[in-house]
Amino acid sequence: MSGGMITAPQPEAVEAGGDVLRAGGNAVDAAVACALVQTAVDPLMCGIAGFGSMHIFMPSKGVHTCLDFHGRAPASVRPDMWEDFIVGEAEDGFGFILEGHVNEIGYQSITTPMSLRAYDTGLNKYGTRVIGELIEPAIDYCESGFLVRPHMSAFWNEAPQSGRITHRNFLTQFPATRKIYTKSDGAIYGVGELLKNPDMGRTYRRIAEHGAEDFYCGTLANDIVADMAANGGLITADDLANVAATERAPLWGSYRGFKVATNNPPGGGIMLLEMLNILENFDLAGMGHNSPDYIATVSEAMKIATVDKDTKVGDPAFVDVPVGELTSKSYAGEMAVRIRRGEKTHVPRLDLSAQESRDTTHISVADGNGNCVAMTHSIGMPSGVVSDGLGFMYNGCMGVFDPRPGRAGSLAPGKARFTAMCPTMLFKGGDPFFVVGAPGGTYITMGVLQAILNAVDFGMNAQEAVAAPRFCTTSDTIDVTNRILRRTEAALVDMGYLVRRSPLGYHFAGVHALRHTEAGWDGGADPGRDGMALAV
């Protein structure tokens, strides 16, 4: 296996990771360098105070593992603290709408900041570089600035969804955030304008000098805790000191002769394997790509997995998740029988007024020695909070917990919320074939699923697999992109489905993938984002 390749939604970050590969670093080094630049140049999609999942395959060392770094509820939360605040639930299950948006924006929306610890852990265990070296490109983008890209601007200015906080509020509600993201006239920076964040640059310089530990137990930690205490935040010094990534073996499955490795709950890999198992019972290629029968069949698998996620999947430290059942071929066979007899699964929701937020990013990278990393990381829905002088935005992950006690996703001290993140690798024999992941809230598993089907069932290369028109069914409505044929939509309506057309041609996750064949690696970057694939 010769040569390497990296793909991600930000060209600046891809180039930084590619430079590391070119200089002899391995896939873990490149992934962390890429991630750190992402935190600087896409700061509402990810950050050092975020969360994620890093899937690592290093055959030369006999390593295949997942570093899960899911944000956890602070120790001070109570299961019933928001029970009386419920207004509704997002249509696709990505969180709840509460009075005052207390779970969406502000200091109480923040879970424990995990990402910096995970980057450092990954490097210390499996990398060849140190974080002080790899953070240098990110520092330069903070201090010298970067050009606001189209996807960033579109997200920052996206019209508010019914019941949700407007995205502009994430940038303007708090003074320390406003001074970074708005100009002297109060306008948000636009496409092509240079945005600098010297406060983040100073924070990153301190991390480079003193290490990640300073963020969790040192001077930076003291600054964070003081700001939380002054503004009614839930994060304490003990919450920071206890932050640690969790290392586990991947969750395994199979699909049409390929071995599939993905992450464990509370990640979305369990949903992905469940859907693949169900769809293995159907001749998808014979139906035709994105035909009415194909979309209906895949949509039913999506709905079944969504209902199972909503009712049965949570943090396994708190919830008895039936992993064996949900990922079994026998259960999938039973679900396939339901689909064949025409049964339409209903997805219960409290309210159908709001849709999800897509504040996440992804990296897929392979080096010349056969090592591969797929890492999805995020700040969830941004909290809008920046501690004055520190520059980085905190995650807003409390918004996805279920405010109703006694449920799989309910609040509990130290509990991780469900995330659809599913950095995944497919293997042909013992060799990697497809390395894939995506940002996109609850759309993530659905986008990754379709990329895998495109590569395996329809023989597409990586770019074709991530660029083909997608659909998403996480409620009783089939959402389709604007490139799905209208005659197909009409046929689905005739079959009794509710169908909603997006004005976007590229939508429902931002999938980034690598594919390996006898000719080497090819890469795919979702055209709906601003990124690229780079061969090294």
Residues acting as catalytic residues: 360
Compute the residue count for the chain: 536
Instruction: Give the β-pairing of 431-437 and 512-517.
Output: antiparallel
Two tokens at 262?
A: 């993905």
The DSSP output letter for 110 is -
Report how far residue 374's alpha carbon sits from residue 366's, in angstroms, rounded to the nearest whole number: 9
Element (H, E) at 524: strand 520-525
Write the single-letter amino acid at 100: G
Residue 388 near residue 176, CB atoms below 8 Å: yes
State how far the Cα of 171 lies from the Cα of 533, in Å rounded to an integer.
30
Q: How far is CA 378 from CA 69, 100, 332, 383, 447, in A?
A: 10, 24, 31, 12, 17
CB atoms near residue 464 (< 10 Å): 16
Are 308 and 300 a contacting pair, CB within 8 Å?
Answer: no
Rounded to an integer, what distance in angstroms lies between the CA atom of residue 411 and that of residue 403?
A: 6
Amino acid, res. 265 = P
Nearest CA-CA partner of 369 in 62, 121, 1: 1
CA distance 13 to 368: 19
Taking CA atoms, 281 is separated from 285, 301, 302, 331, in Å, by 12, 11, 14, 12
- Rg (Cα) of the chain, in Å, rounded? 21
Tell me how far the alpha carbon of residue 255 is from its chain's centroid. Answer: 23
Cβ–Cβ < 8 Å for 98, 351:
no
Please compute, for residue 508, the number of CA atoms within 13 A of its CA located in the half-sphere on the CB side: 29
Per DSSP bridges, beta strands 498-501 and 477-480 are parallel
Signed CA dihedral, 425, 508, 119, 107: sign only: negative
